[in-house]
Structure 1
């Protein structure tokens, strides 16, 4: 099987490549933005028709949510048009498309675990562009896997590494305690993506680790596991104003996984413990 991974230099792309390399019969094509401009339809069609992958896993995205608020055209080009181009080119050769999406497609103000069947209501440019990308992937390729995740960390820049770096230069840190979500390891997300593709289980899926916490509680656990003595103080979102509104509650339930292949993700505590070993 020939698999193309876009955004292969990102956290999820690196983890997917790592896990796929341990599997027999897999031919990987790894691309970054300098290798394949997913926003250019002609370039995408030419690339896909020449290499003819069986599956395209689209990890390419503009994920800097605050930047999306000011670079709106760029956000739509990458997150929406890029996804559409890949889905369309994949459909042209009968290939499957995996589109990675986000909890930001929801409003973030309903205090309940969100399933794939709950109403979407994005409040940010980032969320709107990712939802539009989902819809275009669905309409351009019936062989699609749309996978929403959240609070992702792995091999690359992420919240965990930021907090560890800040702990080295600060005796106390204020961390937001009124936003709830689920920290998710790229290891778990990659495992689920690979299993869905192996099972040809098309559709829309949520995939995060199990459980929930605030950013403050997540930081406390990171420091506990690493034996860091920096004091962590809870604060409100209002104390750290940002361009893009953050969801107050965006805990995703992996409901479709539960109903179909089974949810193989770990608790967020077990995942972060392994990550920090």
Structure 2
């Protein structure tokens, strides 16, 4: 089976290339600019015709949440228009598409974890453009799987876990927001989920295989709780350590509003695809240990 995944350097892309590399049933091809550019419809269609995959994984996106507030048109082109063109090209070739979305499509004000049936109410440009991308993909290709995820980290690129390790090597104390809740999600776990989903889609999918699903780590915590776990594992394995000072969202203002509650219910994915992400603490431990053991350290 050939998976075509958009983007070359994102966390999910790199995780998927690594995870599928050991599976002889999968060939994963990652494409990015200039061959594939979400802001250039011609490159999207050309790449699809050239690669002719069995399943498309739409992972590339405009993810600069605060910068999007100043670049709404660019964010919309990349997060909404481009994925719609990709989904249409896939539909014309009778290919299913797996498209990634985000917890930011919700207001974050619910006291409960969000299910797929809950009404979106994005509070930022990023969230609104990602919701528009969901609609564009669904309208263009009925054979779509839209995966909302949250709080993604990995051994690759820039993310919260790597930032905490870097800061711990530079200071004794780190101030971290303690009143936002979510499901820390390893990109490597996301990649495992994609392999499971893609395998089902390439066989004989039934109607319930398509639609919106939530894919996130099992269990929840706050950003400060996640930071404390990172410090615990790092200290136990001889890595850098810093104390975590909990602060409120009001004490750490950002240009774009962050959801207070980013928790996602994942029962639907478990029921349809028989896949559940590992406990978030176990996945964080594995990532921290790997980063500490890497030749380049936790940079």
TM range (shorter): over 0.9
Report matched runs for 1:55-74 at 5 Å: 55-74=55-74
Q: 2:104 aligned with 1:104, yes or no? A: yes
Unaligned runs of 5+ in 1: none
User: Cα gap change, 1:131/1:156 in structure 2, threshold over 3 Å: closer, same or farther?
Assistant: same
CA drift of 1:2 comes to: 2.1
Q: Secondary structure at the match of 1:132?
A: helix
Computed over aligned residues only, the root mean square deviation of the Cα atoms, in angstroms, reads 1.2
Residues 74-126 of structure 1, C-alpha deviation per residue, up to 9 Å, x if partnerless? Answer: 10011001110110111111111110100000110111011111111111110
Q: 1:9 corresponds to which residue?
A: 9
Residues 231-272 of structure 1, C-alpha deviation per residue, up to 9 Å, x if partnerless? Answer: 211101111111100000110010211322223211111110
CA contact (8 A) 1:39 1:85 kept: no
Q: Secondary structure at the match of 2:56?
A: strand
CA drift of 1:10 comes to: 0.8
Q: 2:225 corresponds to which residue?
A: 217
Q: Secondary structure at the match of 1:109?
A: coil
- Quick check: 145-154 or 225-234, which moved more? 225-234
Q: 2:210 corresponds to which residue?
A: 202
Q: Secondary structure at the match of 2:179?
A: coil
TM-score (norm 2): 0.90
TM-score (norm 1): 0.97
User: Cα gap change, 1:32/1:43 in structure 2, threshold over 3 Å: closer, same or farther?
Assistant: closer
Q: 1:226 corresponds to which residue?
A: 234
The CA distance in 1 between the partners of 2:241 and 2:200, in whole Å, is 46
Aligned length: 277
The CA distance in 1 between the partners of 2:255 and 2:171, in whole Å, is 25
Following TM superposition, the consecutive aligned residue runs of length 4 or more in structure 1 with deviations greater than 6 angstroms are none
Q: 1:164 corresponds to which residue?
A: 165
CA drift of 1:223 comes to: 0.2
CA contact (8 A) 1:69 1:126 kept: yes
CA drift of 1:181 comes to: 0.5
CA contact (8 A) 1:171 1:231 kept: yes
